[in-house]
Structure 1
């Protein structure tokens, strides 16, 4: 069944085109991934589908009575006055009001005066029956169970269900918003980066939920593993147009590259033919100056050349503008880090039990664990950035650490990127602008206060900072958060070429599989365990 149809849709903002003549369909039961660079208009497309934005031209048709659940990047301020459970249950005002109305009718049914009036009792019973049917139709009788199951799946412990929303972090509030959308069970789920702030266990739960979902799902995500496991179709949003590919993300990449290669071959073939015909046309024009009999043939050849130019395929962009990362440093000693009997506490609560670990030069260690397990604290304690509760830390000779912070606190928010990089290295203004341009900062961006940059821009600036510090031991705390897939792939390539040592915290399974050579896990029992290999090999060893 067709749920949504976009026909010749164009969308402009202030006269600037975002989309041009988009055609696409969403069928019931489909699992679709929407991919594109940051700023390509993915969230705008979602808003067109929901009706929050109207097309400049073209039509957006939706199935009659279609229900849509849209997970945006913003949390409704009205939810902040509720508890976690209440916010996840806030599906519709009607559903929240129905239990109170039924309780009022139940009180009337036990009233002796009402019981003595047969007609009045009949009206009360009839209204109560109607409200019961409506409450059941809205899923009210199973709501509590569904909310508890979804919150637990997303990593909220039962005792956290009663916490006020106002006490949660920004990431936790977004998780509650995700729970609310999932509990709604609409015909069409529009999920804008639902995996942000999820730990590995919750990501696996979300994957299964999406696979089992009875309706259709359109998903924006930078997690290639999630896209591989859940979707069967890809909408590529690029240059204001949508191109459809069958299969998951990995299949899309292969098919996209294949199409680009074929388009380039066709373009080259057509350009050679145009060049050959032009040469014939010029010869005919020269001959026509001598013999007018050639004039009509020259005009015919000119029309052929013009028609072929119009019909020719555009030269494809084989490689888009991407950030350019080159991580270089002086070599440290062979033994980068040695910890013995290391443990850590926060406010008297044990985060992780004593453990031993040695990290050698060139190793790439992935640190994993549930949200709140203390991964960031573990990394900072191992590198001597925090004093341990017990144990010893020995940093090797000539180790120069470079820290990438998940919370961006390594950046001076009041400064501009231009001012920031010139403090890190003696650049002229022109050199600094050229350097920042490698990270896709425009001339306007370099003069914008860092605090006003987007999450992706701040992430790129932190990577630029690592390049300038010339660190030989990188400490990366969720480095792929806020990066689009293209930038993440550039970072992966740079880390694979990097000869130094890397300690990284990440919930990006694709990233961990590509980069990690060892996995350090903080378990639910607060024990730290070390496994050889990448994330997939860790899963195999854990059964």
Structure 2
């Protein structure tokens, strides 16, 4: 990902770089706007304070100009005329300051930057379970002649955060169905603790009962649960009128949030999330990430969102080359090690090719002095063919 497009308040903004760069730049812009706004407010406050002072002086001067005194006092230095002139001068200064303030705001007014809306999720797993909740031994899944995976051994412990990765069609969805007891093994054993409660958020949100309203679907037991649900709905940007509509009339994003809320209100030990950030806006995605970071149960996440996997998952299950492989590290470290390994393998191949080419050159030099058909010529010729075949394979 090299660019991020954001639609905000009816305007499209383009940010260069990946998602992390986008978040850093957005935060930088917010802080800069905040500083500019606070600086202008200080300036406006200073001008308004000066205007207030001038008004006080003007009012005093007007009062002095209106006071009646003795003829001798009024004649002395034209006191009343002096106060009138003084009051008029202050009035002009007030007009000047007001003009300056209005000019400042009309040309350079900085609006107070809006904070991004906050969305609150809350997951909790309060049940203590055994160390291992899942244990796979030599599992295999085959459809006809096609083998998705075989001879696969791995386990998952309580509280681990696992990223389930693999190319399209590798068998990720099939494996999830096995965990949900919706698909059987071809061979091997897959043990899941009987006391483990599993929640599954699929990409498909069409399985919700379309005729029910969100509150009816949640099947809340008491008023306290309904209050909690309404609070969560509001935090997730779902307005009260939406709660009265049938689910069939709601958008995919709204349906996804309803499924998430259903999971929030229940107690689960394992959350299986299949592309959980699909249909969610940025604030909802980021709050979901923060919440999942503090979730105490086990997470199994399938996602093409690299940022999500890198941020949340400390271990991986990777389906490739017809096996499910357990990786005891996060995605970033795994890919760095894999890249370094591939570079080393490429370097080894180049070195081996260089050795073979040197040997071929040596043999060509020797055979050039020999007569064709002799025993020594035939031996070197055979050796040449062997080395040339090795080079071809590399």
Aligned match of 2:45 = 275
Cα displacement (A) at 1:474: 0.6
Cα displacement (A) at 1:463: 1.6
Aligned match of 2:136 = 339
Aligned match of 2:331 = 535
Alpha-carbon separation, structure 1, partners of 2:7 and 2:223 = 37
Residues 121, 232 of structure 2: 8 Å contact kept: no
Alpha-carbon separation, structure 1, partners of 2:210 and 2:182 = 22
Structure 2: give runs of 5+ residues left out of the alignment.
62-86, 343-394
In the alignment, structure 1 residue 320 sits paired with structure 2 residue 90:
no
Residues 318, 325 of structure 2: 8 Å contact kept: yes
Residues 335, 359 of structure 1: 8 Å contact kept: yes
Count of residue pairs the alignment pairs up: 310
Find the residue that maps to 1:272 and give its secondary structure. Answer: helix
Aligned match of 1:510 = 307
Deviations 1:216-243 (A, max 9, x none): xxxxxxxxxx2x3xx4xx5543223344
Aligned match of 1:448 = 245
Superposition pairs of residues 128-143 of structure 1, within 5 angstroms: none
In the alignment, structure 1 residue 253 sits paired with structure 2 residue 23:
yes
Alpha-carbon separation, structure 2, partners of 1:241 and 1:409 = 31
Find the residue that maps to 2:265 and give its secondary structure. Answer: helix
Cα displacement (A) at 1:305: 2.8
Residues 6, 13 of structure 2: 8 Å contact kept: yes
Alpha-carbon separation, structure 1, partners of 2:30 and 2:317 = 40
Which one of 188, 206, 226 corresponds to residue 391 of structure 1?
Answer: 188
Alpha-carbon separation, structure 2, partners of 1:514 and 1:353 = 30
Aligned match of 1:298 = 94
Find the residue that maps to 2:183 and give its secondary structure. Answer: coil
Cα displacement (A) at 1:385: 4.4
In the alignment, structure 1 residue 478 sits paired with structure 2 residue 248:
no
Cα–Cα, structure 1 residues 489 and 393, in superposed 2: closer, same or farther, change >3 Å? Answer: same
Alpha-carbon separation, structure 1, partners of 2:189 and 2:221 = 34
Find the residue that maps to 1:356 and give its secondary structure. Answer: strand
Alpha-carbon separation, structure 2, partners of 1:262 and 1:331 = 46
Q: With structure 1 as the length reference, what TM-score do the two structures score?
A: 0.53
Cα–Cα, structure 1 residues 490 and 338, in superposed 2: closer, same or farther, change >3 Å? Answer: same
Alpha-carbon separation, structure 1, partners of 2:139 and 2:211 = 37
In the alignment, structure 1 residue 379 sits paired with structure 2 residue 189:
no
Alpha-carbon separation, structure 2, partners of 1:244 and 1:485 = 15
Deviations 1:33-86 (A, max 9, x none): xxxxxxxxxxxxxxxxxxxxxxxxxxxxxxxxxxxxxxxxxxxxxxxxxxxxxx
Alpha-carbon separation, structure 2, partners of 1:386 and 1:498 = 28
Alpha-carbon separation, structure 2, partners of 1:510 and 1:247 = 13
In the alignment, structure 1 residue 493 sits paired with structure 2 residue 294:
no
Cα displacement (A) at 1:440: 1.1
Residues 322, 440 of structure 1: 8 Å contact kept: no
Cα–Cα, structure 1 residues 404 and 347, in superposed 2: closer, same or farther, change >3 Å? Answer: farther
Residues 121, 264 of structure 2: 8 Å contact kept: yes
Alpha-carbon separation, structure 1, partners of 2:145 and 2:265 = 38
Residues 165, 302 of structure 2: 8 Å contact kept: yes
Cα displacement (A) at 1:364: 0.9
Higher RCO (C-alpha under 8 Å, 6+ residues apart):
2
Cα displacement (A) at 1:371: 1.8
Q: With structure 2 as the length reference, what TM-score do the two structures score?
A: 0.71
Cα–Cα, structure 1 residues 479 and 409, in superposed 2: closer, same or farther, change >3 Å? Answer: same
Residues 361, 501 of structure 1: 8 Å contact kept: yes
Residues 332, 396 of structure 1: 8 Å contact kept: no
Superposition pairs of residues 424-463 of structure 1, within 5 angstroms: 424-427=220-223, 431-463=228-260
Cα displacement (A) at 1:301: 2.1
Aligned match of 1:464 = 261
Cα displacement (A) at 1:287: 2.2
Alpha-carbon separation, structure 2, partners of 1:295 and 1:348 = 95
Alpha-carbon separation, structure 1, partners of 2:22 and 2:204 = 33
Residues 332, 399 of structure 1: 8 Å contact kept: no
Alpha-carbon separation, structure 1, partners of 2:21 and 2:145 = 50
Aligned match of 1:68 = none
Query: Which structure has the larger Rg?
Result: 2
Superposition pairs of residues 404-423 of structure 1, within 5 angstroms: 404-408=201-205, 411-421=208-218, 423=219
Residues 381, 387 of structure 1: 8 Å contact kept: yes
- Alpha-carbon RMSD across the aligned residues, in angstroms, is 2.5
Find the residue that maps to 1:469 and give its secondary structure. Answer: coil
Alpha-carbon separation, structure 2, partners of 1:249 and 1:330 = 33
Cα–Cα, structure 1 residues 522 and 236, in superposed 2: closer, same or farther, change >3 Å? Answer: closer
